[in-house]
A and B are shown apart, each in its own frame.
Chain A
Amino acid sequence: MGGTPTDIKLIDENGLRVDGRRPDEMRPIKIEAGVLKRADGSAYIEWGGNKVLAAVYGPREAHPRHLQNPAKAIVQCKYNMASFSVGERKKPGPDRRSIEISKVISEALESVIFVEQFPRTSIDIFIEVIQANAGTRCAGITAASVALADAGIPMRDLIPAVASGKVAGTLVLDMNKEEDNYGNADLPIGIIPRTREIVLMQMDGNLTIDEFNKLLDMNISACMKIYELQKEALKKKYSPVPVETPTAVLEEKKKVGEEKDNQ
């Protein structure tokens, strides 16, 4: 949470935001499951200006061996930002921020995985931020849970996540880069939709208890919408008949087939 901007008006006279959104409006989200060949499961998410890939390997033998747990699988997430994903080149490799994010995402994902079914193994999750525009940890965990499901790993539920915050005194959902840089508070939250329990939560900035309660409601209802997108992405990959194929297209295919027969 930086300072107050002098030249950017974060909320205009109509109450709209820098990118024209209403305070409670999310950026467009597109999720695709199973985008990589080698990984056991994968997902790609485009969320506003964020482009994030998630890949899952495992359950596989945990290395080094001293990490193995005889009672359960260990869940190891590595969140990484590409050096070109931000305005000024980021030094490659893990920094303290990404180590912390990897830790909270690993813990949140472990809460929904049936880890006790895979003793001594490791479930490795790789989140690669290709292009960043605020909210990458939420985009990352949202994609990672789709990738876990794509890998066929038994889970209690998917985890959708979104950040909300305070910008120029207004409570807003899903901040973009400008809002994140110059805002007054940031509250990323990830939930288990079935029970509405909170498994990922961080916060920085300044909020009254009343503001926190409002943002929490905003986050949870947004998470429920993201949850639908996650499920749709999985259905799209796994339905026997592709969901985007309407009957008209099927008939067209049939016609083409018949024409071939006639030739």
Chain B
Amino acid sequence: MGDDEIISEIKKDYIYKLAERNTRIDGRAFSEYRPIRIERGIVSTAEGSARVKLGGTDVIVGIKMEIGAPFPDTPERGVLTTNAELIPMASPSFEAGPPSVDAIEVARVVDRGIRESQAINLDKLVITKGEKVWVTFIDIHVLDYDGNLFDASTLGALSAILSTKVPASKFGIGEDFPLPVQHIPVSCTFVKLGNAVMLDPNLDEETIAKTRLTVTTNEMGEICAMQKGLTGSFTIDEVKAIIQSAKTAGEEVRKKILG
């Protein structure tokens, strides 16, 4: 994503110099998120939906539910599928066509956070054991890319999940019911610029960053998923500090999701 963007050397130097002085180009503290705005239930044709703005990044997530067969190794569990589309409208560097490597990474990191935290109780999405289960499709559409798609997408997915009604009546198998949600995972993405580690990188920061770490935590402060990205490295102490910071920042974001 970021490495296809163009940034002037002078701006790059400026951002690095600011980082040395503990500030950022948009004036935020290192551990501060950009403003978060969540709108739920904005697509009536979807079973659940949300539009999330994280600073200038704009993501829309739709949930569709269908009846399908369970995976052979989990006959007593519903199926969860996550997909992300980085459509050309969102950035001059995004191209039409099959999902790019970046889109696949975003989808898989979001999926891992939701799946591993057991955010959705898939045991309750069985219709006939081994034969028919509810399949939940989480589709992430990026509308405007201004950095940090990981967190915006996880946030959008969770918000959409919380607004989802399982359309049982449409299929003639009883009353509609809310998607059983049991945990609220929050992902926090950090990048390293020089020796400075900052939360929620904007486009400029993400473009020049060489090292990235996403940490997804649950409401108990446990780690559910992580993904280190880009070609740089983290020291052990940096990783430990990031995890603590993800836990603290995650609590704040969780309030916004539930609020």
Contacts and interface: CB of A to CB of B under 8 A. Distances in A.
Q: Is the interface of B mostly helix, strand, loop or mixed?
A: mixed
14 contacts: A104-B227, A107-B229, A192-B233, A198-B228, A198-B234, A199-B228, A199-B232, A204-B226, A206-B223, A208-B221, A209-B247, A212-B223, A213-B240, A220-B236
Contacts of A107: 229-231
A260 B236 CA distance: 61
Contacts of A207: 222-223
Contact of A100 (B105, B231, B244, B247): B105
A216 B77 CA distance: 32
Given A100-B101, A201-B213, 18 more contacts: A1-B116, A3-B74, A102-B101, A104-B227, A107-B231, A111-B232, A196-B235, A200-B228, A201-B228, A202-B227, A203-B226, A204-B224, A204-B225, A206-B117, A208-B223, A209-B222, A212-B223, A216-B236
A61 B81 CA distance: 38
A140 B243 CA distance: 27
Contacts of A198: 228, 233-236, 239
A154 to B, nearest CB: 16
A99 B101 CA distance: 7
Contacts of A209: 221-223, 243-244, 247
Interface size bracket, A side: 35 or more
Nearest to B218: A206
Interface residues on B, range: 35 or more
Contacts of A1: 116
A104 B243 contact: no
Can you list the 10 inter-chain pairs with the closest CB atoms, starting with the nearest?
A: A197-B233, A203-B226, A201-B228, A110-B231, A204-B116, A199-B233, A207-B223, A198-B234, A111-B231, A107-B231
Contacts of B73: 2
A204 B222 CA distance: 11
